Structure formats: C-alpha cells, structure tokens
Amino acid sequence: MDLFPRKFFTPASVRCLALSLLLSLISFGARSQDPEPIRVGVLHSLSGTMAISETTLKDTVLMLIEQQNARGGLLGRPLEAVVVDPASDWPLFAEKARELLVREKVDVVFGCWTSVSRKSVLPVFEELNGLLFYPVQYEGEESSRNVFYTGAAPNQQAIPAVDYLMSQGVKRWVLAGTDYVYPRTTNKILQAYLEQKGVASEDILVNYTPFGHSDWQSIVAEIKRFGSTGAKTAVVSTVNGDANVPFYKELANQGVSATDIPVIAFSVGEEELSGIDTAPLVGHLAAWNYFMSVEDDANFDFIDQWLAFIGDDNRVTNDPMEAHYIGFNMWAKAVEAAQSTDSDAVQDAIVGVSVPNLSGGMATMLPNHHITKPVLIGEILDDGQFQVVWETPEAVAGDAWSDYLPGSKDLVADWRAPMRCGNYQQDEKRCLAESTE
C-alpha cells in the first residue's frame, strides 16, 4: 500500500511546502538573532531584619526595569532583572555580589542598605570592575570608582538635621544608633560638629544597640533621665531596620512626646511607619531628601505608577525609592551616552549627568560619585506621612569626606581623568590609595 500517493506531491504542493519551510527557517533565524538582554542585578535583603526596608527597593527596581522595557529598553536591547536575596547576612552580600557579576554576568547592580553590607561587597565590585548603585543615606568617608552613592552623605542629612534642631533651641543630645559602621561614623562626625559648635561632652549621650533589638525599656528610661535637666533635649536616631518598631512603641509607652524630647530619625520613613500606630508619635521628625507628601507633578506621577505596579493603594513611597529612581535613570542616560554597558565606559560617561528628582529639581552626578540633593525635615503626622517643616533653599552637593574629622577634611575625590582618585590628599598633593578600603 502506498502511504504517500504521488497525487499529494504536485508541483504546487512542493512549492508550498518549500515556502513554508523557508519561512520557518527565517522565523527561527530572526528569533535566534533577538538582541541579548542587558542584565540588571538586584541585591537587596528579602528576609531577615532588613527585609522591612529592602524588599520595597527590590520592587522599585523591577518597576523601573519594566518601565524602561516599555520604552524600548536600552541600545535596542531589553533589560532583564536578576534578583538575589542576601538575607540581611553581611558576608552573604559579598557572595551574592560575586554570583551576580561572575555567574550571572550582570551589567549593573542596584542594592544594599546598611553600610556594613556595602563595605562587604565593595572589594568584590572593585576586583571585578562592576557597577553598584547604592540608594541609602550613609556615613561618608568613602569614594569608589565602582560605586555611585545616590543616598545622602552626612552633609546632606545629619548636619542639616542638627542645625535645624539647634535653631529650635536644643541644647542636649542623645545619639542613638544601631551598632555598626554607619551610626558609629555618623555619630563621630556629629560629636565633632557639636563640639565645634560649643556643646559640652556631658551634654552628649551616645547609645548603641544590636540589629533587631527589641527591649527598649531601660534605654528609653535613660533618655528620659538625660532629658530631665531642664535643657531642651533631642534624640538623633540612626537606629536601623525592624528595631525601630519597638523603639517608637516604647517611647509612646513611657510618654516621651515630641514636645518633651523630639526624635529626629535618619532611617525611618513612610515604609517603616506603615507598620506601627503613629498616633503617639505625631510631631517627631525625620531628615530625608524626599517625602511622599512632596507636592510636585513628577512625584504624583511616580506615586501613581508605584501603586499601579504593586497593586495596592495602601502602599507608600520613600526616600531610598527616589534614590533608586534617580540612580537608575542616571545609569540609563550614561549607557545611552556611552553606547555601551561596559563598566569603564559608563563610569566615564556618568559624571555630570543630570536627571529630574521627584521634588521638582534636578540631581547631578558629581566627580566624587555622589549626587546633588535637597534636604528636607519632615514632621510625623497621624496618618504615617510627613509634613515638611524645613528644607534647604537649593540642592546640596554630597561630600565624600567630612569637613569635621581631622583625617578627612583635607581629602577630595574626583574620578575624572587625570586624577581618578577617591582620596586625594590636597596638602600632600597625592592619592592615598587606589581603593578607599
């Protein structure tokens, strides 16, 4: 029996079959020539003590990638997110950074929150010449060719916050922080600054607690005693992560109001306040470079986009989210200018790049890899939002090295040729080291 009768193989059918095969080959070839995606690493804790703050930043980067792809990607190539979870484990941050750069071959990384996590990954990025955009306020005293610091340096948050409190008559100071590099270095800078302003050492109380600290009863009692002398007292808080929830609850339990002893926080924003009853905290303060309550069309658009992306009208925006928004757009603009995702090309192209912030101004990448930012002081409202009570008249340029520490005040950073140095000693006219580590 002839299973394939000749009548089925007429000249017309053969031509049709050949054409079909040709079209299939063309289609396969087109698919095989699809542009290779630009891989974007996301290095944020999705578990552990810092997940309360960092999970939102992971989602922010995913939203920015989705929006960029909707605009056609970059250089005609789509963007692809590669997400890892360093789990609030500082050594694991370094392992995950190496995984992203070596195994996943990402072109850029957006990530880290704490300075100890940034310090952990810094040698990896410098060794492998990767690019890290770091979105959170930090202690300064660092400038790396491989890191772009889009959060606030001390002169863009801590120093203006203290100046504001001084203008409100504060005479005694509690410097309360989590026990790691950011609070310790920031408080070292603040102590030097306060002493230069004439504050006596006995009018400064310093306290540190571990990550995830939960028993605040004795510490808050000590703060109350310190503030009971009659001189106006304030708490400058660098407490980080989920320890803020029991800290603020204990303040309320012991009746510490903003009228008695105001707290100004550097790590508490809308996201952290969304998890606690804020009614007893009305009047306490935070210093940031962005608040969700800022009235500007760019901010309104960003909020709408975020709520639509996350699918929850009760979610909030915050300062580190804006820093990722700024950093991502700066990176994209530098890639377009360089016509490449190569690290060296982007490093050279990004200095001087300006993009809009969410407060109606512009952010510019400086030669020291810090950016320009406005400084805002916000007062906590009973709905968990902030009312801006003070702001700088213009954007402030971020300083990599503090003017108030003896070993730092003579250092500058400039990653442009011919200097290309993160710690240039002006008096000695030399670069102290290739790395700031």
pLDDT, tens digit, 9 for 90 and up, residues 243-278? 888 898 899 899 999 999 999 999 888 988 887 788
Domain count, the chain: 2
Q: Are residues 79 and 133 in the same domain?
A: yes
Mean pLDDT on 355-383:
97
CA distance 189 to 158: 9
Confidence band (pLDDT; 50, 70, 90) for 7? very low
pLDDT at 426: 93
* Residue 26 or residue 318, greater confidence: 318
pLDDT at 436: 41
Question: Residues of 312-329 as b/e, b for ≥16 C-beta within 10 angstroms?
Answer: eeebbbbbbbbbbbbbbb
Q: Is residue 274 part of a domain?
A: yes
- Domain boundary at 262, 288, 314, which? 288
Reported as a single tens digit per residue, the pLDDT across 181-223 is 999 999 999 999 999 999 999 999 999 999 899 999 999 999 9
Task: Indicate if the pLDDT at residue 29 is higher than 80.
Answer: no
Q: Are residues 278 and 168 in the same domain?
A: yes
Task: Indicate if the pLDDT at residue 110 is higher than 90.
Answer: yes
Inter-axis angle of helices 51-70 and 319-338, nearest 10: 40
Q: Are residues 177 and 112 in the same domain?
A: no
Q: Are residues 300 and 367 in the same domain?
A: yes
Length of the chain: 437
CA distance 348 to 372: 18
Confidence band (pLDDT; 50, 70, 90) for 281? confident
Confidence band (pLDDT; 50, 70, 90) for 15? low
Q: Is residue 14 part of a domain?
A: no
| CATH code of the domain in which 225 resides | 3.40.50.2300
Reported as a single tens digit per residue, the pLDDT across 58-68 is 999 999 999 99
Reported as a single tens digit per residue, the pLDDT across 388-406 is 999 999 999 999 999 999 8
Residue 166 belongs to domain spanning: 156-288
Task: Indicate if the pLDDT at residue 135 is higher than 50.
Answer: yes
Q: Are residues 140 and 245 in the same domain?
A: no
Nearest to 369 by CA among 147, 118, 123: 147
HEC per residue, 373-434: ECCEEEEECCCCCEEEEEECCCCEECCCCCCCCCCCCCEEEECCCCCCEEEEECCCCEECCC
The count of C-alpha atoms lying within 13 angstroms of the C-alpha of 72, restricted to the half-sphere facing its C-beta, is 3
Phi, psi (deg, nearest 5) at residue 252: -65, -40
Q: Are residues 120 and 195 in the same domain?
A: no
CA distance 327 to 319: 12
